[in-house]
Amino acid sequence: MTSKFADERHVLGLSGGRDSAALAVAHGIRARLGLPETSPQDTPKSLNCLRSYLAQKVRLSETVPVEIEVLGVEPSRGTGRLIGLAIVRIEVAGVELTLQGVRIERSAAGLTVHSPAFRHPRAGRYVSAVLLPAELREAIGAQVLEHLT
């Protein structure tokens, strides 16, 4: 999916070891999958430590274990297409992330699952808050829909 805002730079503030590790793991996974290069913005000392850690713990040429668990779904009534919001725990190579606000919507094709979104301050439209590889996005969607049944 191509974003209309692809030429803009979005800044996500992260701090602490776990966040930095998640950023580095996500960067490595994108590289392993052949996705476009990203430039994680972290302190050079922190990034060097993380790259060293990942080189020891995660060989990016190998399969990286991923676990997905739906922690809960909050139903939404009277909000148009929105059926509910899910909370999903993702563990990638031992680094745990929690996605809040995973949207479950009704469409012509049935129920669809979308990543959390925010309203763009200039365009006024909702844009994805988290850009995930297609394989991970599809696996999360399947888990959320399975949780509903």
Residue 33 domain flag: yes
Residue 1 domain flag: no
Backbone angles phi, psi at 121, to 5 degrees: -65, -30
Please state the domain count of the chain: 2
Give the start-end residues of each E strand in 4-109.
66-75, 82-92, 95-107
Phi-psi region of 53 (alpha: psi -120 to 50; beta: other; left: phi over 0): alpha
Q: What is the pLDDT of residue 126?
A: 87
pLDDT in tens, the chain (149 residues): 444 444 444 444 444 555 566 666 666 666 665 555 555 554 555 556 666 666 665 555 567 778 999 999 999 887 788 999 999 999 887 889 899 999 999 988 899 999 998 888 888 898 888 888 888 889 999 999 999 88
**Taking the model in full, what pTM does it have?**
0.57
**Is the same domain home to 30 and 75?**
no
**Is the same domain home to 88 and 143?**
yes
* 12-35 burial code (b ≥16 CB/10 A, e <16): eeeeeeeebbbbbbbbbbbebeee
Residue 112 domain flag: yes
Backbone angles phi, psi at 81, to 5 degrees: -75, -20
